[in-house]
């Protein structure tokens, strides 16, 4: 455990095995559920969705198969299918054990490209049995993503299914990996001033990923004689008979090298698609100047960046992991490649489509990154270079860059059943598909990781708070200060199986025993002496109340931020905090909630503080909320909400909102706003178009409610009804960074709030 005065250091984010299991087990086990897209509420709904209404699309599809794309989910549905014979780099662990990975791939499809996806685990190692299980599934899906099937069976399976099925069949470990690795290598070659025709590459791993990578890089210009392939038996040399198959033979080289060590002498590039630790420091030392290492085995690479940098300071290194720079992982490919293929109803994913994806990805890494990506690298905007050869998975440009390239190539090669007519309109539509809040939270977390903070977790004896603190530290966000009695915290942690004693980055502060108490009590007394408090009252508040103690730590600079609220009502926690911390001068204290529903984020205010705001207060709330939008990376479009729209029907609360708009007009604020308007007008483009004079350039992303009750009722309703995620209320306008979670919040909510507090979302 860290000593109280240790400076927080930037650490690589890690996760514990226990966190991984808990993540998967929490709530509904697993990572996926199915949600209906049509109402199922009334007799009429049932008659339409099921018998007799459903018969109508049935007959239409029977008559014309292409109508399935109009009347069913087929056109946006991909099956992720595995038999678990090569799960990541963990080997053959069977179909059932592969399910967490396949559910994971399915949710990545959704998260990154809005492709609906379902995992199917097939308990059949025999290629023919597997083919038979899959070949008849075509009608259900728009595409098939094969995953983690070992070589050489995967080659037979994919080739046969491609032949038998009229939808794209794509083995991700082969082609997804090859596309990303090719994009990365093209850039690394350029950065090191090499010529593709003379670059010498060694690929360790002659399985699904290794063979496909060699095929694609040779198609892009690598000379076959400069490429050496290795497997568990060493170099795949021409004439070798042991452990061979026809796919390895196709890449066998005339060479005297027999072992990986031999092959690595003077090599320019290493591709690792084999297993953890396969590349030694000695081999790295033997490589040519400015060596390029893609250690892509998962979850642990052939060599870690730390190990490679320890022996060579001129190395460019990439891994398959998200916790190092240069992540070469097929997650950058499969969601977008299928998006493009589905959107033109491609019959297949061919070589031209793969090359188009690789080139588009390589080019994207060379362009200036948008503010959204730069924000994650605060202070050091990533630029094309040794530590940034490939875009990051959270790059918002991927969705409107890769699918159009893939779709265009499909159209150019005649495999598109429904070509795209207006490419620009298509790109705009793609941008709207991304889920903005995940990006927002991730950006916030990245930013805090760059500038780690000391955050007080005021209710440090609670199990979920301890878990959140551990996760905060593991994510590299800074130091977590648990307020509580040391023995109680250790006891709770031990009971829950959380190891905190040996963990750097966690501090414990017992309010009763802290040597800072007299300073905190004096500070509080200075503030409260004219409000009827005695010095000993203040001493008691500091000694006995964790919110007062934690807030005093933040107020006096012993910590950067605080999170509380798990065990106490919001208003009580807030009044504790306000005894210690003021509103920021010139600002108004408000609560904002982030509501995410169907890929759209809106900021709602004021969800926490002023019950019946005056017109002037509503105008201030709008200004504070617009500031939050900007801090989170959005350009605010503020709708001043009421039950009426532009004067109709008239009412007392609406009059206040109309007056608030007038006040904003007078103040000449620098953001878009208009109103009063009803919520449906604010959020629906067509309805807004009924008011052509409305000054909002698009639907609103900030909703200012006429009063606290409507804000609180609407956000709580949304949360309880499901289908949307509500984060907050976040406190905005306090002079120091404090956030209050809802009573009984879960560890994941607490850690997100802690990150938002550390980011100082409130001001």
Ligand X SMILES: NC(=O)C1=CN([C@@H]2O[C@H](COP(=O)(O)OP(=O)(O)OC[C@H]3O[C@@H](n4cnc5c(N)ncnc54)[C@H](OP(=O)(O)O)[C@@H]3O)[C@@H](O)[C@H]2O)C=CC1
Residues identified as active-site:
50, 105
Looking at beta carbons, which residue is closest to ligand X?
A: 207
Taking the complex as a whole, the smallest distance from the CB of residue 148 to Mg ion amounts, in Å, to 4
Contact positions vs Mg ion (CB under 5 A): 148, 173
297 binds ligand X (CB under 6 A): yes
Binding partner of 207, given ligand CC(=O)C(=O)O, Mg ion, ligand X, none, CB within 5-8 angstroms per partner class: ligand X
627 binds, among Mg ion, ligand X, ligand CC(=O)C(=O)O, none (CB under 5 to 8 A by kind): none
Using the minimum distance from each CB to Mg ion, give the nearer residue, 149 or 420.
149
- 654-692 burial: b if 16+ Cβ within 10 Å, else e: bebbbebbebbeeeebebbbbbbbbbebbbeeebbeeee
**In the complex, least distance from residue 342 CB atom to ligand X, rounded to whole angstroms:** 21
**Which of these ranges, 270-278, 417-425, 647-655, 745-753, lies near ligand X under the rule CB under 6 A?**
270-278
Which of left, alpha, beta for 52 (phi over 0: left; psi -120 to 50: alpha)?
A: alpha
Query: Are the C-beta atoms of 409 and 342 separated by less than 8 Å?
Result: no
Nearer to Mg ion, 145 or 645 (CB): 145
In the complex, the smallest distance separating the C-beta of residue 150 from ligand X, rounded to whole angstroms, is 4
Helix axes 99-113, 398-412, angle to 10 degrees: 90
- CB of 317: closest distance to ligand CC(=O)C(=O)O in angstroms? 17
| Number of other residues whose CB lies within 10 A of the CB of residue 266 | 11
- Pairing mode, strands 234-235 and 77-82: unpaired
Question: CB-based burial of residue 238 (10 Å sphere; 0-12 exposed, 13-18 middle, 19+ buried)?
Answer: exposed
Residues in the chain, overall count = 763
Q: How far apart are CA 593 and CA 583, in angstroms?
A: 19
Size of the site for ligand X (CB under 6 A): 30
- In angstroms, give the least distance from the CB of 208 to ligand X: 4
CB of 110 to ligand X, least distance (A): 19
Alpha-carbon dihedral sign for residues 428, 429, 431, 436 = positive
Burial of 648 (0-12, 13-18, 19+ CB in 10 A): exposed
What is the H or E stretch that residue 593 is in? strand 590-597
- What is the rounded distance in angstroms from the CA atom of residue 475 to the CA atom of residue 444? 12
CB of 354 to Mg ion, least distance (A): 16
* Alpha-carbon dihedral angle through residues 205, 207, 209, 213, given to the nearest 10 degrees: 70
| Residue 746, CB-side half-sphere exposure with 13 Å CA sphere | 7
d(CA 1, CA 38): 53
**Which CB, 277 or 651, lies closer to ligand X?**
277
Whether the link from the prior residue into 606 is cis, omega within 30° of 0, is: yes
Q: Binding pattern to ligand X, positions 320-349, x when CB under 6 A?
A: x-------xxx-------------------
Task: Confirm or reject binding of residue 240 to ligand X (CB under 6 A).
Answer: no
Residue 273's binding partner, choosing from Mg ion, ligand X, ligand CC(=O)C(=O)O, none, with beta-carbon cut-off 5 to 8 A by kind?
A: ligand X
Positive or negative, the Cα torsion across 715, 720, 725, 730? Answer: positive
Judging by beta carbons within 10 Å of its beta carbon (0-12, 13-18, 19+), is residue 87 exposed, middle or buried? buried
Residue 134 to residues 66, 72, 122, 508, Cα–Cα distance (Å): 21, 20, 9, 55
Which residue lies nearer to ligand CC(=O)C(=O)O by CB, 148 or 231? 148
CB of 750 to ligand CC(=O)C(=O)O, least distance (A): 30
- 32 versus 88: smaller Cβ distance to ligand CC(=O)C(=O)O: 88
From ligand X, Mg ion, ligand CC(=O)C(=O)O, none, which one binds at residue 275 (CB under 5 to 8 Å depending on kind)? ligand X
Query: What residues between 276 and 295 interact with ligand X by CB under 6 A?
Result: 278
User: Can you tell me whether residue 377 is helix, strand or coil?
Assistant: coil
Q: What angle do CA 716, 717, 723 make, to 5 degrees?
A: 105
* CB of 101 or CB of 236, closer to ligand CC(=O)C(=O)O: 101
Nearest to 277 by CA among 320, 309, 307: 307
Tell which positions 55-74 bind ligand X, by CB under 6 A.
Answer: none
Nearest by Cα to 266 from 220, 228, 295, 317: 228
From the list ligand CC(=O)C(=O)O, ligand X, Mg ion, none, which binds 143 (C-beta under 5 to 8 Å, kind-based)? none
Confirm or reject binding of residue 82 to ligand X (CB under 6 A): no
CA distance 182 to 581: 54
Binding map of ligand X across residues 122-161, x = CB under 6 A, - = no contact? ----------------------------xx----------
Name the binder of 332 from Mg ion, ligand X, ligand CC(=O)C(=O)O, none, CB < 5-8 A by kind. none
Q: Which of ligand CC(=O)C(=O)O, Mg ion, ligand X, none interacts with 233 (beta carbon under 5 to 8 A by kind)?
A: ligand X
Q: Which of 67, 218, 233, 578 is the binder for ligand X (CB under 6 A)?
A: 233
Three-state SS annotation for 312-347: CCCCEEEECCCCCCCECCHHHCHHHHHHHHHHCCEC
CB 384, min distance to ligand X, A: 21
Interface ranges with ligand CC(=O)C(=O)O (CB under 6 A): 88, 148, 172-173, 298, 320, 329-330
Which of 103, 231, 343, 576 binds ligand X (CB under 6 A)? It is 231
Among 68, 113, 144, 206, which residue sits at the site for ligand X (rule: CB under 6 A)?
206
Given the rule CB under 6 A, which residues bind ligand X?
Answer: 86, 88-89, 150-151, 173, 177, 204-210, 230-233, 243, 273-275, 278, 296-298, 320, 328-330
């Amino acid at each position: 455990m860290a000593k109280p005065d240790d400076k927080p250091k930037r650490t690589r984010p890690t996760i514990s095995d226990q966190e991984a299991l808990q993540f998967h087990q929490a709530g509904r086990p697993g990572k996926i559920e199915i949600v209906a897209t049509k109402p199922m509420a009334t007799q009429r709904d049932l008659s339409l969705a099921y018998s007799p209404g459903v018969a109508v699309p049935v007959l239409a599809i029977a008559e014309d198969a292409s109508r399935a794309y109009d009347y069913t989910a087929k056109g946006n549905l991909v099956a992720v299918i595995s038999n678990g014979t090569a799960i990541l780099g963990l080997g053959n662990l069977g179909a059932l054990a592969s399910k967490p990975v396949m559910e994971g791939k399915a949710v990545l499809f959704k998260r990154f490209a809005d492709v609906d996806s379902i995992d199917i685990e097939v308990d059949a190692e025999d290629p023919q049995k597997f083919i038979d299980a899959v070949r008849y599934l075509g009608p259900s899906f728009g595409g098939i993503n094969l995953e983690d099937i070992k070589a050489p069976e995967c080659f037979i399976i994919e080739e046969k299914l491609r032949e038998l099925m009229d939808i794209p069949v794509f083995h991700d470990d082969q082609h997804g990996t090859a596309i990303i690795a090719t994009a990365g290598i093209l850039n690394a070659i350029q950065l090191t001033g090499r010529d593709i025709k003379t670059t010498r590459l060694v690929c360790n791993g002659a399985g699904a990923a290794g063979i496909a990578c060699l095929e694609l890089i040779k198609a892009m210009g690598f000379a076959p004689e400069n490429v050496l392939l290795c497997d568990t038996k060493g170099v795949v040399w021409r004439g070798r008979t042991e452990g061979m198959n026809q796919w390895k033979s196709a890449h066998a080289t005339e060479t005297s090298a027999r072992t990986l060590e031999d092959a690595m002498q003077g090599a320019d590039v290493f591709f690792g698609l084999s297993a953890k630790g396969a590349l030694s420091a000695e081999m790295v030392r033997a490589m040519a100047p400015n060596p390029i290492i893609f250690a892509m085995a998962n979850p642990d690479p052939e060599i870690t960046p730390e190990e490679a940098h320890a022996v060579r300071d001129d190395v460019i290194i990439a891994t398959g992991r998200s916790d190092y720079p240069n992540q070469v992982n097929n997650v950058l490919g499969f969601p977008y490649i299928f998006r493009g293929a589905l959107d033109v109803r491609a019959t297949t994913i061919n070589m031209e489509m793969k090359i188009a994806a690789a080139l588009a990805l390589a080019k994207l890494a060379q362009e200036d990154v948008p503010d959204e990506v730069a924000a994650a690298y605060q202070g050091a905007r990533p630029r094309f270079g040794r530590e940034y050869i490939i875009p990051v998975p959270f790059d918002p440009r991927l969705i409107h860059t890769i699918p159009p390239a893939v779709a265009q190539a499909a159209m150019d090669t005649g495999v598109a059943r429904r070509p795209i007519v207006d490419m620009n309109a298509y790109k705009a539509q793609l941008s709207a598909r991304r889920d903005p809040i995940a990006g927002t939270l991730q950006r916030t977390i990245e930013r805090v990781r760059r500038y780690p903070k000391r955050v007080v977790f005021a209710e440090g004896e609670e199990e979920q708070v301890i878990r959140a603190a551990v996760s905060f530290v593991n994510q590299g966000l800074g130091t977590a200060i648990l307020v509580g009695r040391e023995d109680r915290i250790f006891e709770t942690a031990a009971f829950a199986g959380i190891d905190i004693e040996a963990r750097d980055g966690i501090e414990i502060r017992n309010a009763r025993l802290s040597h800072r108490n007299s300073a905190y009590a004096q500070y509080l007394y200075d503030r409260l002496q004219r409000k009827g408090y005695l010095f000993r009252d203040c001493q008691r508040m500091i000694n006995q109340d964790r919110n007062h103690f934690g807030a005093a730590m933040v107020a006096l600079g012993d910590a950067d931020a605080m999170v509380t609220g798990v065990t106490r009502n919001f208003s009580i926690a807030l009044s504790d905090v306000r005894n210690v911390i003021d509103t920021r001068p010139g600002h108004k204290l408000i609560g904002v909630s982030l509501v995410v529903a169907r890929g759209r984020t809106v900021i709602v205010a004021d969800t926490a503080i002023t019950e019946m705001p005056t017109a002037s207060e509503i105008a201030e709330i709008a200004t504070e909320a617009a500031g939050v939008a900007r801090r989170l990376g959005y350009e605010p479009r503020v709708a001043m909400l009421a039950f009426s729209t532009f004067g109709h029907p008239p009412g007392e609360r609406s009059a206040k909102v109309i007056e608030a708009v007038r006040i904003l007009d007078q103040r000449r604020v620098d953001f878009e706003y208009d109103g009063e308007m009803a919520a449906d007008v604010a959020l629906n483009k067509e309805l807004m178009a009924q008011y052509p004079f409305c000054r909002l350039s698009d639907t609103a992303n900030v909703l200012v409610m006429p009063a606290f009750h409507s804000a609180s009722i609407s956000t709580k309703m949304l949360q309880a009804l499901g289908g949307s995620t509500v984060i907050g209320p976040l406190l905005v306008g306090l002079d120091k960074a404090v956030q209050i979670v809802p009573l009984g919040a879960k560890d994941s909510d607490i850690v997100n709030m802690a990150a938002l507090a550390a980011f100082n979302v409130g001001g």
